[in-house]
Structure 1
């Protein structure tokens, strides 16, 4: 293989390592003007395309069918104004149901009792147990 020998430039040469002439302000100004003109042209074309499409869409707009169902707006207020107070009222109403007496179905004779009382009643009476006959019928049906 041939080896190429690279020689360093003599350090005393003032033309090595920098531009031989300065940048001309006229060229920089011309570039800035050309860039601004191109930007203005792109913005103008974009605006024209937007307006053209908006007018085209307005021309092609089909009126809604008179049979179309219009959705009614929800009643005011749309936002929960007093969240903490609403939560307290809801919890108070739930606690009144859970810890108070009342009729569930007066005609059927079903009443509501406080939870603590219901737990005590269940602890004394116990939960209902299936009869053996019901278990045998269920087992007989599986075979």
Structure 2
């Protein structure tokens, strides 16, 4: 403001230039400090040698065919006789035969005397 209380009509270029240069220097200094701090803050990991990199996953090439083979093997095991543990005398029998044996044992089981109707 001048002596009469009015605003100036011109811009003080040297003051504005010094202000711009000071602002640019402050931004540059802040960026430099951030870069220096970043170098100390980021952890440094050693490079992993090639022999320690895990192998890629081995995926099934033909899942439906693999499943069919597994189903056939399980069906064959369910429908055949064989030893589970021959040393202890544990064997497997076909599932149809096992259901017949269980049904026969259930028919021969005595009726429980605990329920009176």
Task: Identify the TM-score tier after normalising by the shorter chain.
Answer: 0.3 to 0.5
Q: Which has the higher contact order (CA 8 A, sep 6+)?
A: 2
**Could you tell me the TM-score, scaled by structure 2's length?**
0.46
- For normalisation by structure 1, the TM-score amounts to 0.39
